[in-house]
Structure 1
Amino acid sequence: MAETRSTTAPRVVRREPTLTGELLAEFAGTAILILFGVGVVAQVVAGQNGDDDSIHWAWGLGVTFGVYVAGRTSGAHLNPAVTVALAVFKGFAWRKVLPYSVAQLLGAFVAALIVRWVYADAIATVDPRTTFDSQGIFSTLPGAGVSIGTAFLDQVVGTALLVFLIFAVTELRATPPAANLAPFIIGLIVVAIGFAWGSNAGYAINPARDLGPRLASFLTGYSTAMREPGGQFYFWVPIVAPLIGGVLGGGLYRVLVERHLPDQTDAEQPTGRIPAEDD
Structure 2
Amino acid sequence: MTPYLAEFIGTAVLLYLGCGVNANVSLKATYGNGSGWIVISFGWAMAVFVAVFIAADASGAHLNPAVTLALAVAKNFPWAEVPGYVLAQIGGAFFGAVLAYVQYRPHYATEPEPGTILGTFATGPAIPDTLANVLSEVVATFVFVLAVLFLAGPSFGEQEVGLGSLDALPVALVVLAIGLSVGGTTGYAINPARDLGPRIAHAVLPIRGKGGSNWSYAWIPFFGPLLGAALSAGAFILLAA
TM-score of the aligned structures, taking structure 1 as reference length? 0.77
Q: Deviations over 1:79-123 (max 9, x none)?
A: 001001111111111111111000000101011011112212112
The answer to whether the 8 Å contact 2:60/2:164 transfers is no
Which residue identity is paired with 1:168?
A: F
* Superposition deviation, residue 171 in structure 1: 5.8
The answer to whether the 8 Å contact 2:56/2:165 transfers is no
2:159 alignment counterpart: none
Distance 1:239 1:23 in 2: 20
1:265 alignment counterpart: none
- Of the three residues 164, 182, 190, the one matched with 2:175 is 190
Distance 2:203 2:136 in 1: 24
1:243 alignment counterpart: 226
Larger RCO (alpha carbons 8 Å, 6+ apart)? 2
- Of the three residues 193, 198, 201, the one matched with 1:216 is 201
* Superposition deviation, residue 168 in structure 1: 1.7
2:13 alignment counterpart: 32
2:64 alignment counterpart: 79
- Of the three residues 108, 130, 145, the one matched with 1:148 is 130
Unaligned runs of 5+ in 2: 155-162
The answer to whether the 8 Å contact 2:146/2:236 transfers is yes
Matched, 1:113 2:98: yes
1:163 alignment counterpart: 145
The answer to whether the 8 Å contact 2:56/2:164 transfers is no
Q: Deviations over 1:179-206 (max 9, x none)?
A: 5431110010000010111111000000
Distance 1:71 1:171 in 2: 11
* Superposition deviation, residue 60 in structure 1: 0.8
Q: Cα 1:150–1:62, aligned 2, differ >3 Å: closer, same or farther?
A: same
Distance 1:218 1:31 in 2: 18
* Superposition deviation, residue 236 in structure 1: 0.9
Taking the TM superposition and a 5 Å limit, the aligned residue runs for 1:128-147 are 131-143=114-126, 145-147=127-129
Distance 2:99 2:166 in 1: 29
Which residue identity is paired with 1:225?
A: S
Distance 1:81 1:168 in 2: 15
Which residue identity is paired with 2:186?
A: A
Distance 2:165 2:9 in 1: 19
Higher helix share: 2
Distance 1:236 1:180 in 2: 32
Matched, 1:225 2:208: no
Taking the TM superposition and a 5 Å limit, the aligned residue runs for 1:16-31 are 21-31=2-12
The answer to whether the 8 Å contact 1:154/1:201 transfers is yes
* Superposition deviation, residue 226 in structure 1: 2.9
Which residue identity is paired with 2:55?
A: A
Taking the TM superposition and a 5 Å limit, the aligned residue runs for 1:38-57 are 38-46=19-27, 47=30, 48=33, 50-57=35-42
Q: Cα 1:171–1:27, aligned 2, differ >3 Å: closer, same or farther?
A: closer
* Superposition deviation, residue 30 in structure 1: 0.5
The answer to whether the 8 Å contact 2:142/2:232 transfers is yes
Q: Cα 1:23–1:179, aligned 2, differ >3 Å: closer, same or farther?
A: closer
The answer to whether the 8 Å contact 1:142/1:148 transfers is no
Q: Deviations over 1:51-79 (max 9, x none)?
A: 11111111111111111111111100000
Secondary structure of 1:50's counterpart equals coil
Which residue identity is paired with 1:162?
A: F
Distance 2:134 2:56 in 1: 29
The answer to whether the 8 Å contact 1:116/1:217 transfers is no
